[in-house]
Amino acid sequence: GAGVSQSPSNKVTEKGKDVELRCDPISGHTALYWYRQSLGQGLEFLIYFQGNSAPDKSGLPSDRFSAERTGGSVSTLTIQRTQQEDSAVYLCASSSQLAGGPETQYFGPGTRLLVL
Amino acid sequence: GDSVTQMEGPVTLSEEAFLTINCTYTATGYPSLFWYVQYPGEGLQLLLKATKADDKGSNKGFEATYRKETTSFHLEKGSVQVSDSAVYFCALRGGGSNYKLTFGKGTLLTVNP
């Protein structure tokens, strides 16, 4: 079956512009996660969705970052007024809810964002 | 808070050499432990996992044992191949939560023929 997909694969934008990054999780996966991979910080958790709700937004670095999920499926991460330090690879992952067991997170290929 | 410390790379080995990448962790409760691999130009893939103390995860010739007494989850392979060249990430999901992964910084492995 299809894995996690993300679009665009690459995005170049100018400082101050807004960007939207999209994630399509594995069908049937109720949990969705956004992470950021950057040279200086490694892999950082941003936000977690269970269904359409986001119980944990603690990793969002500033109020310029927001995310939503609709229909328990596709999620969009929006970065407003982008800054150069936002340049990174943004990774999305999804997992199913397994009774009594750990939820393995399956990752998408990422969106590489470059802010000029 | 939770944290993962893994051996800094890069690591360069010849084909058929023995590989160890060290990983230690700090976490509350009883975390689950993972190794993810990122091949050049590809996304993160789960390599193996262990959910409780003394569990051994294994896949593709790689192994790691969950050692609670030393809070470690070292990755090993007896004979590496050129195709194993990749970045390896150790990660944990804390016992207090069932979602967020905390990653180490990653170790770049290059295997030469």
- A40 part of contact set with chain B, CB < 8 Å: no
Q: Do A101 and B51 touch (CB under 8 A)?
A: yes
What pLDDT, on a 0 to 100 scale, did the predictor assign at position B96? 60
* Closest chain B residue to A5, measured at CA: B43
What pLDDT, on a 0 to 100 scale, did the predictor assign at position B7? 87
What pLDDT, on a 0 to 100 scale, did the predictor assign at position B95? 67
Q: Do A107 and B99 touch (CB under 8 A)?
A: no
Question: What is the least distance, in Å, from the CA of B17 to any CA of chain A?
Answer: 28
pLDDT under 50: residue ranges of chain B: none
Q: Do A42 and B43 touch (CB under 8 A)?
A: no
What pLDDT, on a 0 to 100 scale, did the predictor assign at position B44? 92
User: Phi, psi at residue B97, to the nearest 5°?
Assistant: -140, 160
What pLDDT, on a 0 to 100 scale, did the predictor assign at position B100? 85
- Give pLDDT tens digits for B55-85: 999 999 999 999 999 999 999 999 999 999 9
Q: Give the nearest partner residue to B51 out of A35, A102, A106, using CB atoms.
A: A102
Cα B6 to Cα A105, B71, B96, B105, distances in angstroms: 20, 12, 22, 7
User: How many whole angstroms separate alpha carbon A46 and alpha carbon A33?
Assistant: 7
**Testing the interface with A: which of B98, B102, B108 to mutate, by most A Cβ within 10 A?**
B98
pLDDT under 50: residue ranges of chain A: none
